[in-house]
């Protein structure tokens, strides 16, 4: 007999979690942060898996913006990053990532707070480039007391409906003043999430900046250069559509935004380390449920695809995955 899980769902009215199709032995919640926080922290999620029931297929953390993970389980949790297993402590910050990563745990609840580039600029003094594709304890990023405070706060909660209010109050009471680059960050985020992906020169022209200035802005607050960011957004738009579709994709046809299939495969090699066919064959029912859930609650499957980014003001406004008991290493193919 499995453990009693939190109730899947959302405080957002009109949401039916049955439509998410969360697998047996897992639970999932998505919440919309306070409007003041939304441009900085695009979404909150609570994930849980019972290892007595949920044993896979393995799920992966898709590449994307930064995240804060508050781990409320006593069992070990680890992420395979660049073919190396990284154990997670109580409060860990994922810098912006450029490759999908498998996750392994042994049950329990994890609370995930998504962090936008604007949120990174506001909350951390560390360059996003220095933190990209890495996992760092929160207390090593200039907030020594936050990890302990957040862990205590969430351990004492119901880990479900109370989480949104607790996180809102925590971050609103500690919110630093706006960063001087927030207006430029908002414009770049909106440009990256446009319906078409421009080349670097066109991107700079549209922002009214030099290519050098755009690159510096991107590295400082997004973690990667403009070319990688444009490719990542285009690829994730195509991949998440495939993951959420009920029917299997036709791999002989290039997805929207791609010139041909080899063009798509090059991005897949960069961001997955696998061909799309091999990646989708893993199954990932919880990952697919998380993408559906976030789309229903927040309007997009991943924070970097949020249309609200286009409306961020200058003064401030990957889907997490359920984890199994196995780790699949990213290969090439």
Q: What was the pLDDT predicted at 316? A: 39
- Predicted confidence band at 83 (pLDDT cuts at 50, 70, 90)? low
Distance separating alpha carbons of residues 77 and 199, to the nearest angstrom: 39
Contact 192, 232 (CB under 8 A): no
Q: Which residue has the higher pLDDT, 77 or 218?
A: 218
User: What is the DSSP code (8-state) at residue 9?
Assistant: B
Joined tokens for residue 214: 């755009």
| pLDDT higher than 90, residue 90 | no
Contact 264, 276 (CB under 8 A): yes
Predicted confidence (pLDDT) per residue in 139-153, tens digit: 999 888 999 999 999
Average pLDDT, stretch 192-201? 73
| pLDDT higher than 60, residue 269 | yes
> What is the separation of C-alpha 9 from the centre of its chain, rounded to a whole number of angstroms?
18
Strand partners of residue 44:
31, 113
Best CA proximity match to 108, nearest among 5, 220, 204, 197: 5
Distance separating alpha carbons of residues 42 and 29, to the nearest angstrom: 14
Q: What was the pLDDT predicted at 58? A: 62
Average pLDDT, the chain: 87
Average pLDDT, stretch 48-74? 84
Of 15-29, 99-113, 134-148, give the range with the top mean pLDDT.
15-29
- Predicted confidence band at 61 (pLDDT cuts at 50, 70, 90)? confident
- Predicted confidence band at 132 (pLDDT cuts at 50, 70, 90)? very high
| pLDDT higher than 70, residue 172 | yes
Which of 26-30, 34-38, 60-64, 76-80 is least confident?
76-80
- Predicted confidence band at 165 (pLDDT cuts at 50, 70, 90)? very high
Q: What was the pLDDT predicted at 86? A: 67
User: What is the DSSP code (8-state) at residue 324?
Assistant: B
Contact 227, 274 (CB under 8 A): no
Distance separating alpha carbons of residues 311 and 39, to the nearest angstrom: 9
Q: Which residue has the higher pLDDT, 104 or 131?
A: 131
Please provide residue 236's backbone torsions phi and psi, each rounded to the nearest 5 degrees: -70, -30
Average pLDDT, stretch 123-133? 96
Q: What was the pLDDT predicted at 120? A: 98
The total number of structural domains that make up the chain = 1
Average pLDDT, stretch 248-263? 94
Q: What was the pLDDT predicted at 198? A: 60
| pLDDT higher than 90, residue 302 | yes
Distance separating alpha carbons of residues 78 and 296, to the nearest angstrom: 28
Best CA proximity match to 237, nearest among 274, 193, 280, 205: 193
Contact 86, 125 (CB under 8 A): no
Q: What was the pLDDT predicted at 49? A: 86
Residue range(s) defining the domain that contains residue 201: 1-333
Best CA proximity match to 276, nearest among 100, 87, 36, 117: 100
Q: How far is CA 14 from CA 18, 40, 121, 286, in A?
A: 12, 25, 34, 22
| pLDDT higher than 60, residue 125 | yes
Average pLDDT, stretch 225-236? 95
Determine the 3-state secondary structure of 293 from DSSP.
helix
Cα angle 185, 131, 86; round to 5: 140
Handedness of CA 328, 226, 237, 303 (dihedral sign): positive
- Predicted confidence band at 76 (pLDDT cuts at 50, 70, 90)? low
């Amino acid at each position: 007999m499995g453990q009693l899980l939190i109730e899947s769902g959302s405080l957002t009215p009109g949401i039916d979690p049955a439509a998410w199709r969360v697998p047996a032995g897992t639970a999932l919640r998505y919440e919309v942060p306070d409007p003041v926080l939304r441009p900085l922290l695009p979404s909150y999620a609570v994930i849980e898996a019972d290892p007595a029931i949920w044993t896979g297929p393995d799920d992966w953390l898709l590449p994307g913006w930064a995240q804060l993970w508050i781990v409320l389980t006593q069992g070990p949790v680890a992420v395979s990053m660049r073919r190396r297993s990284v154990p997670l402590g109580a409060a860990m910050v994922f810098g912006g990532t450029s490759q999908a990563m498998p996750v392994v745990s042994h049950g329990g609840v994890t609370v995930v707070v998504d962090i936008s580039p604007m949120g990174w600029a506001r909350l951390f003094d560390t360059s996003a480039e220095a933190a990209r594709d890495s996992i760092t304890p929160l207390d090593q990023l200039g907030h020594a007391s936050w990890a302990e405070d957040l862990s205590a706060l969430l351990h004492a909660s119901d880990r479900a409906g109370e989480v949104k209010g607790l996180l809102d109050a925590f971050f609103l009471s500690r919110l630093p003043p706006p960063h001087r680059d927030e207006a430029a960050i908002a414009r770049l985020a909106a440009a990256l999430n446009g319906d078409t992906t421009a080349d670097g020169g066109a991107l700079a022209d549209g922002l009214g900046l030099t290519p050098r200035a755009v690159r510096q802005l991107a590295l400082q607050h997004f973690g990667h250069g403009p070319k990688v960011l444009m490719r990542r957004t285009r690829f994730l738009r195509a991949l998440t559509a495939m993951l959420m579709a009920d029917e299997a994709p036709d791999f002989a046809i290039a997805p929207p935004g791609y010139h041909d299939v080899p063009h798509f495969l090059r991005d897949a090699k960069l961001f997955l380390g696998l061909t799309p066919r091999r990646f989708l064959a893993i199954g990932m029912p919880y990952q697919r449920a998380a993408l559906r859930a976030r789309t229903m609650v927040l309007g997009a499957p991943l924070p970097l695809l949020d249309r609200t980014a286009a409306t961020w003001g200058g003064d401030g406004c990957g889907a997490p995955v359920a984890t199994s008991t196995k780790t699949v290493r990213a290969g090439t193919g």
